[in-house]
Structure 1
Amino acid sequence: MTPYKKLSQIQKVMPLNTLQVDKMEGMTVRNETRVTQFILLGLTSNPDLQIVFFVLFLAMYLLTISGNLLIMVTIYVDCQLHTAMYFFICNLSVLDLSFSTITVPKALVNFFFQSKTISFGGCIAQLFFFHFIGGAECFHLTLMAYDRYVAICNPLRYTTIMNRRVCLLLVVSTWVGGFVHAFAQAFPTLQLSFCGPNEIDHYFCDAHPLSLLACSSTFASKTADLVNSGTLTLGCFLGVFISYVYIITTVLNIRSTTGRRKAFSTCASHLLVVTLFFGPSVFTYMRPSVTFAADKMLSIFYNVMTPWLNPFIYTLRNEKGKAGKQLENICSVAG
C-alpha cells in the first residue's frame, strides 16, 4: 500500500475538523482538533436566575432601542437641534444602539434556550464588532468632552471651530479609530489555535476569555489585549479628564452663580455617561489577564445599562425651548 493511499484511508475515518499526525515513510501529517464552535456559559447556570436575566435584558434592550431611535428622529426633524452638540448626541445614540445589538440579542437567546453555542466565525465577528463599536464610542465620548471644552472655554469662537465640516470629520475619525482598534484586537486572537476546551466563561466573545481556551502561545494575544484596549480606555479617559480640568477652571472663574450652575449642568450628563462607561472598562482592560467573576457583571454596565440610560440622561439634562419639551417626552418613554 502506498503512503498516499494509506493517508486517504486515514482521512476517511477522521472527523472533518481533525487532522492525523503520523510518520509514515517520510511523510508527516498534523493531528490537531480544530474547534468549530464555542459554548457561552453566560452569567449563571441557575435556571431561575436565567429567567430573571432574560426579563431584565429584554426590558433594557427594548428601552434602548425605543429611546435611542426617538432621540435620533427628534434631532433629525427639529431644525433647532441641528447643532454640533445634538449632532454628537445623535451619533452617540447610533453607537449605543449598535453596541447593545452586538451582544444582547445573542445573550437573550442563550438565556431562553438550552443551546448556548456560537460558531467560531460568529464568535470572532462578535469580538471584532464589539471592539469596533466600543472603541468608536470611547473616541466619541472624548470628542464630546472636547466639544464641551470649546463651548465653555471659547464660547465666542465655538460656531467657527465646531462647524459642520469639522464635526463630520471628527465623527468619521471616531469610527475609523474604532475600526483600527478592533482589527488590532481581533487579528492576534484569530492567530490562536483552539483544539481543546470550547466553553467560554462569559455571555459574549471577548479576547481575554478566548485566550484562556487557546492551545497555542497566547503571549501576543494577551499583550495586544492589554496594550491595545488598555491604551484606548486610559488614553480616552485622560483626554476627557484634561478637558474637564480646563472646563472646571473656566467655570470657577465665572462670577455669576447662575452662569456657573448652567455651565456645570451642561456637562453633568456627559460626566455621568463617561463614569458609567469608562469606570468598568478601565478596570476590565487595564489590569493583568486574571479571571474575575466580577468582570461579567461589570461588562453589563457599559454593554447593557449605559446604552439604556443614555437617552434618559441626555433628555433629562438638555433643555432648549421646544426641543427640551420634545426630549422630555423621550425621557418618559426611555426611562
Structure 2
Amino acid sequence: MLRGMMLRRIILAMVLLLPLAVQAREQIRATGSNTVFPFVAAAAEQFGREGKFRTPIVEATGTGGGFKSFCSGVGEAFPDISDASRAIKPSETELCHKHGVDRITELKIGYDGIVLANTRTSPQFKLTRKELFLALAREVPLNGKLVQNPYKNWREINPKLPDLPIMIYGSPPTSGTRDAFVELAMDIGCKQTPEYAVAYPDETIRKHQCGYFREDGAFIEEGENGNLIIQKLLHNEAALGIFGYSFLEQNESKVQASTMEGITPTFATITDGTYTLARPLYIYVKQAHITRIPGLKEFVREIFSDAA
C-alpha cells in the first residue's frame, strides 16, 4: 500500500510539472538601455497592433543590467534581446559564454548623442571636453602635479564660463550612457592633460584613472533614467545633467543643450559625427531563441522597419 501511495505521488508530481516543461513563453522579452527603450518600446507597440503575435515586453534596466540578465542563460526564463547604448564589453561576452549564450547577433539600430543640458532659465554652457574633464575628474593638474579636484565654480576652469557652482547630475557606472561618456569625453580630455601621462605611464592604468569621477558632491549619480535627471534640473537652475539626446528632444521646451567644441547637438550633427559626443545604439539578439520564441525574428525586422 505504501508503495502504491508513493507511485501515485510521483505520477502527480510529473503531471504538475509537465505544463511548465512544455509551455513556451509566448511574449518576446527585451531589456537594457534606458536610451534605447523608447525606440524598442515603440516598435513593440506597432508589432502588437499587427495582431500576429503578442506585444513584446520591453524593460528599461540600464545597459549593464540588461547584459547581466541577457547573459545569464538560454531558455524561456531569460531575455531574448538586450538593448544597449554601447557595445558589449569583453567581460560581458565572457559572462554570456559562461552561461551557454554563445550565439549572439549585434545589430546597430541608429545613433544618439550624449548631451549636457540645463534649464532654459539659466545661461547656456559652451564647453570643451578638456573643460568637462577638469570639472569632473577625481584628479586634476595643479602646479605640474595631479591633486584632488579643487574646482568649485566653472569660472575657476575658464573665466568665460557661467559664474555657477560645478554641479552635474549623471548616471551610475552600470549605465551605458556613463560608459560612453567616459570614452567620448573623459578619455579625450585626459589625453589633453599631459600630467596624466607622467603620473601614470602605464596606458592601461592611466585609462582607468582617467575615468574616475570626483566624489566630493560635484557629480551626483541620479539613476539611469534621463527624465529623472531632467526633473532634478528643473528644481536646480545651477546644475547640469548628462543624458541621451532623445530625452532632450522630449523636453526641449524645458531644458537646453550645451555646445561641445562649438557644435550644438542635433539629429544632423549626431548622425554625421560632427557632434563629438555621438555614439551608436545597439540591440543584441540571442540566436538560440529565434526558433524558441514565437515572432522573435519578425520583431527584429519590425525594429528596423519604417513604421517603427
TM-score by length of structure 1 reads 0.24
Greater helix fraction, Structure 1 or Structure 2: 1
Greater strand fraction, Structure 1 or Structure 2: 2
TM-score by length of structure 2 reads 0.26
